[in-house]
Amino acid sequence: MLRTNPIFYRQALDLWKSVCRMPYSFFLDSCYGHTAGDWSFLGWSPVKIIIQYRDHCRVITAKDSYDDPASIFELATVELEKRRELVPPSSEFNIPFSGGMVGYFGYESANHFSDFSFLTPPETAISVVGFFNHGVAIHQGQKSAWYFENDSSEPAIFPIAFSDITASKFKPGPGKQISPFTSLFSKQTYLPLVKELKDAITNGDIYQANLSHRFSATGEIDPIRFYDALRVTSPAPHAALINLGSGTIFSASPERFFQISDGAITCNPIKGTRPRNLNPDIDAALKNELLNSKKDSAELLMITDLIRNDLGRICETGSISVPNLKQVSSFAQVHHLISTIAGKLRPDITLSSVFQALFPCGSITGAPKIRAAQLIAKLETTPRNIYTGSIGYWSDSGNADFNIAIRTMYGDRNRWYFHAGGGIVADSDPTAEWQETLDKSAGILAAARTYNANVSTPSLRFS
């Protein structure tokens, strides 16, 4: 029997500060405040964890742990099928996630698909997913929340009492500053790489490619403090905080990779960027410039067409449509062009087949996807890791929602990384492309400045 009880919204959001100090906990956070991000989810204490390394997966349960040579996509698919048999979806649930898989797939995990076997994964964990039987679902628009429990054959939603959890009772973690971020590439080393890709486009090798560079910093930060700063300075509809025990992922992603609801799949690729401006007139002019840019519109059209083709591998014939070819969405630091592509999944489609068809997303590789990925793998010199991978959930009921892990920082207690990039096309201006990566870095850099200001008086200058 379904039992529900809305709770006070502020207390629901405060809960993440307690939950996310626990290893293998997650906060999938829609803090941007529009319909694309109405739902947020908290979870902790997974019943099974799968960690993908270069040549095997490590599977961890409460009873044992073991290695498996299969890929994380294969193992996750098998586990989800088991869970659907053990815990049948309840039509009474009105929330999209009430138990199932949550985690991330790093960009280089695509090397398990034959077309991307050239990718070289990092030596550390490539992807991590957990399977959760209980958690909290928060609906932003309704300012309501529910605790769900999926431990038995009768899933239920219980009232939540937060009388013992208030923001004033949280103790801050280490009060040390994070150092200035520096890029692996300087402007002088990045511009020739843009030219090399433009030459490849001129020669007919590719149409576009997404080139990025990696920033790094050091410092023993408190993850809860830092994420609190990030969600204030750079709120995003597909944000996330994941505690991996040995490290942390912070995401302020504006981009949805795909969403699955009742067998329908939707993708929302981003292409085209302009910085925000504090002057309303200048800001409106920048937004209008982006909307009317032939270069950015052509770039978005190419990726929209690429994703339509990718969806054709897993959707019913004739079901794919483009409800919205181009719209401008405005975020804290930038304006973006976004399109919407939708389709009806075939009945036999699984997590593994969805990722094999779509991953990595064309918006962060280029077109044609495989050749563009080969070129950027050569030029970028280091693995992307979580950057341009994907964070999200696949519920026991078959619903799913994954972001593109851009505007995403990762690392351990002492070393931190994030990447920023942009799409290179035939008429790209190398200097403008470099500046675009800095515009996209602004959210994490602002969070770092805010974090430092909250833990110590002196301010630092950031690159």
- Catalytic positions, written as ranges: 255, 271
Element (H, E) at 104: strand 100-105
Give me the sign of the Cα torsion angle 193, 198, 201, 207: positive
C-alpha distance across the termini of the chain, in Å: 56
Strand partners, 201: none
Alpha carbon separation from 278 to 281, 283, 284, 336 (Å, rounded): 9, 7, 10, 17
Nearest by Cα to 122 from 401, 417, 393, 402 = 417
The encoded tokens of residue 363 equal 């918006």
The encoded tokens of residue 416 equal 């931190």
Alpha carbon separation from 437 to 215, 421, 459 (Å, rounded): 11, 5, 23
179 HSE (CA, 13 A, CB side): 14
DSSP helix/strand/coil, 141: coil
313 φ/ψ angles, rounded to the nearest 5 degrees: -80, -20
The label of the residue with tokens 């790489």 reads 193
Burial 172-196 (b: 16+ CB within 10 A, else e): ebeebbbebbebbbeeeebbebbee
Query: What is the distance between the alpha carbons of residues 321 and 300, in angstroms, rounded to a whole number?
Result: 15
Element (H, E) at 224: helix 223-233
Residue 234 contacts residue 332 (beta carbons within 8 Å): yes
User: Which amino acid is residue 421, in one-letter code?
Assistant: G
| DSSP letter for each residue of 207-222 | SEEEEEEEEEEE----
Angle, CA 237 vertex, CA 373 and CA 451 arms, to 5°: 90
